[in-house]
Amino acid sequence: MTVQDVRAFNRFYTRLIGALDYGRHLYAPYTLTETRVLYELAHDRELDAADLRERLSLDAGYLSRILNKYEEAGLIGRAPSRADSRRRRVTLTDRGREAAATLDERARERVGELLEAVAPDDRVRLAGAMREIRGILGDEPERRREGAADPGEVVLREPLPGDLGWIVQRNAVLYAAEYGWNAEYEGLVARIVAGFAEDHDPALERVWIAELDGRPVGCVMCVRDEAPGTARLRLLLVEPGARGHGVGDRLVGAVVGFARDAGYRHLVLWTNDVLSGARRLYQRYGFTLVGEKPHRSFGQDLVGQDWHLDLGRTP
């Protein structure tokens, strides 16, 4: 990374932002800076002029002129701050909130038009790259205001376009690297994932993707089993670099809670005895080993295990 790399990216991004507003008057009747002030006031009701000055790096006189303009237009009101009576809190009026909402909707439409030209798989990569840039360059206060996860916090979400393919790819790579499993396992995972993608009941079956610092680091599935009233936990995976952060615990807990809420009476899973870390996790949630059988699969001699959890009982 060089200074020139940063400057080149900045020029590209500046052109891109300019293109979003080319001939469209995105911020009219306001300037970009005036719009940023409205945005901050719309998303934080405890701001005063000093907060705005610091957050937006504005000259005090320039900000004062903007606020005076907004007050004359009936967009803002000012009152003593609850935290410090020497300061005056700035809040949007109903008219101000309407103006901010209009500008926000315009921006959403423009960005939506931009993303229409981006392939679904690339959107996931793009979002991850943006989060990484912001995190590296120290944008954590803004991320927190937007509700983003704190660094080191595990977040579970539903799969986005491309995530099901990621599940297949990461299972194949990790189990080959850690246990020497061959392409038979990748084929099995691909069939499981394809079956879910083609036909599943969202009320009874789900997939979770675990994120850590904006990156996918784990997954698990809950699907219907052949036995009546029974759900099956499948494809639990945690990336090596994310182990020790409670990712596996969150994923298994999500499956157990979902299966119980969905009305299943039993939760089962099949695993192999070499996966000792996962087995300990299952035991913590109350699963019991109900059967073992040696088998030759994935290019290895293994011992398959069946585990069962009675969802009517709390471990």
**pLDDT tens across 26-80, in order?**
677 888 888 888 888 887 777 888 888 888 888 888 989 998 999 999 988 888 7
**pLDDT tens across 166-213, in order?**
999 999 999 999 999 999 999 999 999 999 999 999 999 999 999 987
**pLDDT tens across 81-112, in order?**
766 667 778 888 999 889 888 888 887 787 77
The one-letter amino acid code at 190 reads A
What dotted CATH number matches 3-117?
1.10.10.10
Are 308 and 290 in contact by the 8 Å Cβ rule? The answer is yes
pTM assigned to the model: 0.56
Name the residue ranges covered by the structural domains of the chain: 3-117, 154-310
**pLDDT tens across 111-158, in order?**
777 778 877 667 767 776 776 777 667 655 555 454 455 556 788 999
CATH class of domain segment(s) 154-310:
alpha beta
| Mean pLDDT of the chain, nearest integer | 85
Question: With 90 as the cut, is the pLDDT of residue 230 above it?
Answer: yes
